[in-house]
């Protein structure tokens, strides 16, 4: 690290502050990036020295200010590119930043080698100091899948039943501890009691295994670096000297480990600029601490706090609706977003009978907007997005859009590098690069099928452990010694030989693309999928081709594997205009002219589970999520809810989200669908009062019902409970009410009665079973329907369906 030619720190010593170089730089270089900045943005760009907290509301030009600030640092001669540490959470954000700095300066900035995600930067650092935590610098990075497999082994080795003690749960605990920068010995209190009192013991065993494998998981990247910086002042001092300016994006999302890491690095020169928005903190459930941003001023006394409050994205009603909603949260740093825009659409609100109808209506609206038949004017499919709370909500839209032929794209679905075939192929590549990668060997030794089962696996493992060698070497020994016999032995011998050959090829510098192709071909992996008659096999072969194509962007397999371990995004090819469907979480940082926010029902959004597990804190995070959703919209935002939804195969009814009541009325336009609010639908119908426009009279009942929902156990448990309700006393008021309504409703119809159903139309009652009625519908045929969803046919007239 002291080598002046160190590629990580290529710059000559820093320029004299304020002196000749800076002056010359200023004279010589224009600062076009300052043009058009508003006063707050400009202040944020120019306050280069000392701690700065930039509170940047949604759509206030945060990225612009951040990138301009970096450009300014460079132009002012404050630092060379290599002396700026700029941290983001996602690779996408890092890429965008790099790209935009280049744009501002009119040249590509090559030297910014400390611009990247927390994880990518930590990898780079950790490779330099790996030995300080007992690793070698070529350690491998395990993804979640590897992590789970390893934990399973650890649990098994501890003599625990992996069924009762699922590895996933332990992974969650360990991740949580690592997020909080806790080493096994520091796990205390309730945490220590977790996992049958053996949580920290297993955590320790897992860490042990990781070191033996020369591997780290994602959490370790931060944890190890915090340990190193904390325990080795010389290393820390080096970074203090070299990294003169620190910038952090999305500061509200940092967890404790990231916070400690930053604080250690920043405490030298205190030139740290954190950018964030406490109102957009939506990752508390995975360890983010809003507290980090809330106490910035305490951590860095004398910090300048700069608020970016002018919003350039959304129309005035959208902004006002979002602001009104978020004002229900407590403990905010407080910002007042405003916009120069005066014209714009109100936020639209509409309720639907069920999830299918919601999907149908949104599909129609999207088409209408694409035709130009709606208020803000024509908006193409690319400009429209549906943001859902939970991914299972996507299904209704996909089904609907497939039937009407509306092109859509799901963002954040199964990622390319997480696919089975890609992971298999990657395991082969990993073994070719590092023959001692036991996890990779474990994955592919019998893929494609080589006639090696559990028994062979154990044999290899024992031999390897006894000899103290890798699984691959153990396999070689097993074949030699005849410990594995029969057709499996021949196949295993071949595999061992092949891997040796591929490894030699890697070492001798054969083109990595050739090697990769040879591996997939000679291992018969490709052949395996070619022979597979399953419909998805073709797609998998396509993916493998794409994998090979992706290799072209790299110099060698090592570089590629390194990249993939940290970068799990899939840039989807996009030529055709499509509607985007994604979760609210995935939408953070994006914007669309038109946004649909479906599923605003209590229990779904806000999520019952978030409230059960985290109480008021959980509710507030849900509210921030709602805020993020609304503020994604530029011109039109539509919120919808459904009275009934199918969840795990069962119909559930729900109340409209409490967030709906929190929207300021003046900025909301209620679209009342014909016929839905005739009343008499029980719980769902009652709470639609607000949407009907008769606010006030229903609020008491609505509030009481909400209180039930808030206090009741989790909604999925309730699904089960409702199913068993006939044999068990009713426990929750909500559950009881639903059944009472059903029972009353069922009793209200006699056999032969004419009824009307929102979806199936007119029909005749043919029988009753408990709370359900058998109906012969004139058009839809025979169905079993919960009585509450029916209206007597003669009443249907008033309701104008």
User: Annotated active-site positions, please?
Assistant: 62-63, 249-250, 280, 632
Residue written as tokens 């089975």? Answer: 420
Residue whose CB is less far from DNA, 30 or 720: 720
Question: Is the Cβ–Cβ distance between 245 and 87 less than 8 Å?
Answer: no
Shortest distance in whole angstroms from residue 33 CB to DNA:
26
Q: Is 98 annotated as a binding residue?
A: no
Shortest distance in whole angstroms from residue 295 CB to DNA:
22
Radius of gyration of the chain (CA): 30
Q: Is 268 annotated as a binding residue?
A: no
Taking alpha carbons only, the member of 597, 608, 606, 704 closest to residue 657 is 606
121: helix, strand or coil: helix
Residue whose CB is less far from DNA, 90 or 311: 90
Residue written as tokens 């089962």? Answer: 453
> DSSP labels for 339-389?
-S----PPEEEEEEEEHHHHHHHHHHHHHHHHHT-STT----GGGEEEEES
Q: Is 58 annotated as a binding residue?
A: yes
| Strand (E) or helix (H) holding 406 | none
Binding residues vs DNA (CB under 7 A): 89-92, 117-120, 143-144, 162-163, 218, 285-286, 389-392, 412, 415, 446, 449, 451-456, 488, 566-569, 582-583, 585-586, 607, 609-610, 613, 618, 622, 648-649, 716
Shortest distance in whole angstroms from residue 412 CB to DNA:
4
Q: Is 19 annotated as a binding residue?
A: no
Helices (H) and strands (E) in the chain, counts: 34, 21
Residue whose CB is less far from DNA, 135 or 611: 611
Question: Is the Cβ–Cβ distance between 358 and 598 less than 8 Å?
Answer: yes
Residue whose CB is less far from DNA, 254 or 384: 254
Q: Is 108 annotated as a binding residue?
A: no
Residue whose CB is less far from DNA, 120 or 790: 120
Question: Is the Cβ–Cβ distance between 277 and 311 less than 8 Å?
Answer: no
What's the DSSP call for residue 526? H
Helices (H), 144-232: 144-157, 167-179, 189-193, 199-212, 218-231
Residue whose CB is less far from DNA, 188 or 455: 455
Question: Is the Cβ–Cβ distance between 405 and 579 less than 8 Å?
Answer: no
Q: Is 63 annotated as a binding residue?
A: yes
What residues have CB less than 8 Å from 715, skipping those under 6 apart?
Answer: 603, 604, 608, 609, 647, 652
Shortest distance in whole angstroms from residue 100 CB to DNA:
17
Biggest CA-to-CA distance, the chain: 97
Question: Is the Cβ–Cβ distance between 123 and 221 less than 8 Å?
Answer: yes
Residue written as tokens 């921030």? Answer: 624
Question: Is the Cβ–Cβ distance between 763 and 774 less than 8 Å?
Answer: no
Q: Is 672 annotated as a binding residue?
A: no
Shortest distance in whole angstroms from residue 30 CB to DNA:
34
User: Phi and psi (nearest 5°) for 55?
Assistant: -90, 105
Residues in the chain: 801
Tokens of 50: 């000392």
The span from the CA of 12 to the CA of 82, in Å, is: 10
The span from the CA of 252 to the CA of 294, in Å, is: 9
Residue whose CB is less far from DNA, 609 or 737: 609
Shortest distance in whole angstroms from residue 700 CB to DNA:
27
Shortest distance in whole angstroms from residue 545 CB to DNA:
22
Taking alpha carbons only, the member of 70, 108, 59, 83 closest to residue 10 is 83
Q: Is 487 annotated as a binding residue?
A: no
Exposure string of 27-53, with b = 16+ CB inside 10 Å and e = fewer, is eeeeeebbeebbebbbbbbebeeebbb
Residue whose CB is less far from DNA, 118 or 777: 118
Residue whose CB is less far from DNA, 454 or 575: 454
Shortest distance in whole angstroms from residue 620 CB to DNA:
12
Shortest distance in whole angstroms from residue 254 CB to DNA:
11
Residue written as tokens 């759509």? Answer: 59
The span from the CA of 606 to the CA of 600, in Å, is: 8
Q: How far is CA 354 from CA 599, 653, 658, 684, 691, in A?
A: 10, 9, 18, 10, 16
Instruction: Give the annotated binding-site residues.
Output: 56-63
Annotated binding-site ranges for ATP = 56-63
């Amino acid at each position: 690290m002291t080598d002046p030619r160190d590629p990580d720190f290529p710059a000559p010593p820093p320029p004299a502050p304020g002196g000749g170089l800076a002056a010359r730089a200023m004279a010589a270089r224009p600062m076009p990036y300052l043009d058009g900045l508003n006063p707050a943005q400009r202040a944020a760009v120019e306050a280069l020295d000392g701690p700065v907290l930039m509170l940047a509301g949604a759509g206030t030009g945060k990225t612009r200010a951040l990138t301009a600030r970096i450009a300014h640092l460079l132009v002012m001669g404050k630092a060379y590119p290599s002396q700026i540490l700029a941290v983001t959470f996602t690779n996408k954000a890092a890429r965008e930043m790099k790209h935009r700095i280049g744009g501002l300066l009119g040249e590509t900035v090559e030297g910014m080698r400390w611009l990247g995600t927390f994880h990518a930067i930590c990898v780079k650092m950790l490779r330099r100091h790996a030995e300080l935590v007992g690793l070698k610098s070529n350690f491998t990075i395990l993804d979640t899948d590897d992590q789970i497999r390893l934990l399973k082994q650890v649990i098994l080795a501890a003599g625990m039943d992996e069924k009762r003690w699922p590895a996933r749960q332990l992974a969650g605990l360990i991740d949580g501890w690592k997020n909080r920068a806790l080493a096994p010995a520091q796990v205390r209190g309730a945490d220590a009691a977790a996992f049958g009192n053996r949580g920290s013991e297993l955590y320790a065993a897992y860490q042990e295994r990781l070191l033996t494998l020369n591997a780290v998981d994602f959490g370790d990247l931060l944890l190890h670096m915090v340990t190193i910086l904390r325990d080795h002042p010389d290393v820390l001092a080096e970074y203090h000297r070299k990294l003169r300016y620190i910038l952090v994006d999305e500061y509200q999302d940092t967890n404790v480990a990231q916070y400690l890491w930053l604080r250690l690095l920043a405490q030298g020169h205190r030139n740290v600029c954190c950018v964030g928005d406490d109102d957009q903190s939506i990752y508390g459930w995975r360890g983010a601490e809003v507290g980090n941003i809330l106490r910035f001023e305490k951590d860095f006394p004398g910090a300048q706090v700069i608020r970016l409050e002018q919003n350039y994205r959304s129309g005035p009603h959208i902004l006002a609706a979002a602001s009104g909603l978020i004002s229900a949260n407590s403990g905010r740093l407080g910002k007042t977003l405003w916009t120069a825009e005066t014209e714009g659409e109100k936020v639209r609100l509409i309720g639907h009978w069920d999830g299918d109808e919601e999907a149908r209506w949104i599909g129609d609206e999207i088409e209408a907007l694409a035709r130009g038949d709606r208020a803000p004017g024509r908006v193409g499919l690319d400009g429209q997005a549906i943001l859902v709370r939970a991914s299972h909500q996507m299904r209704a839209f996909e089904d609907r859009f497939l039937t009407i032929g509306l092109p859509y794209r799901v963002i954040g679905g199964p990622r390319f590098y997480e696919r089975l075939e890609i992971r298999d192929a990657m395991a082969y590549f990993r073994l070719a690069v590092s023959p001692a990668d036991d996890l990779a060997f474990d994955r592919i030794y019998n893929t494609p099928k080589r006639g090696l089962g559990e028994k062979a696996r154990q044999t290899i493992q024992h031999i390897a452990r006894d000899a103290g060698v890798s699984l691959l070497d153990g396999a070689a020994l097993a074949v030699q010694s005849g410990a594995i016999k029969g057709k499996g032995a021949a196949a295993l011998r071949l595999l061992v030989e092949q891997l040796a050959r591929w490894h030699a090829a890697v070492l001798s510098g054969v083109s990595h693309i050739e090697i990769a192709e040879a591996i997939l071909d000679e291992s018969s992996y490709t052949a395996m999928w070619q022979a597979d008659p399953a419909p998805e096999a073709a797609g998998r072969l396509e993916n493998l081709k794409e994998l090979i194509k992706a290799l072209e962007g790299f110099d060698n397999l090592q570089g590629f594997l390194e990249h993939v371990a940290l970068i799990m995004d899939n840039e989807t090819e996009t030529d055709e205009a499509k509607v985007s469907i994604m979760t609210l979480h995935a939408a953070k940082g994006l914007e669309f002219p038109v946004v649909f926010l479906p599923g605003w029902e209590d229990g779904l959004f806000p999520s019952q589970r978030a409230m059960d597990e985290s109480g008021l804190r959980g509710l507030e995070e849900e509210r921030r999520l709602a805020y993020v959703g609304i503020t994604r919209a530029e011109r039109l935002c539509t919120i919808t809810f459904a009275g009934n939804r199918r969840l795990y195969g069962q119909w559930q009814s729900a109340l409209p989200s409490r967030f709906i009541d929190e929207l300021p009325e003046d900025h909301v336009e209620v679209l009342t669908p014909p016929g839905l609010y005739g009343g008499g639908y029980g719980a769902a119908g009652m709470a639609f009062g607000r949407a009907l426009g008769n606010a006030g009279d229903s609020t008491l009942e609505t509030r009481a019902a909400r209180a039930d929902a808030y206090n009741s156990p989790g909604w999925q448990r309730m699904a089960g409970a409702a199913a068993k309700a006939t044999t068990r006393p009713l426990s929750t008021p909500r559950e009881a009410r639903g059944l009472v309504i059903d029972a009353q409703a069922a009793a209200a119809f006699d056999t032969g009665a004419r009824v009307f159903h929102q979806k199936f139309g007119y029909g005749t009652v043919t029988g009753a079973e408990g709370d359900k009625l058998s109906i012969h519908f004139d058009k839809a045929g025979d169905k079993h329907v919960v009585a509450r969803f029916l209206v007597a046919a003669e009443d249907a007239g008033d309701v104008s369906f």
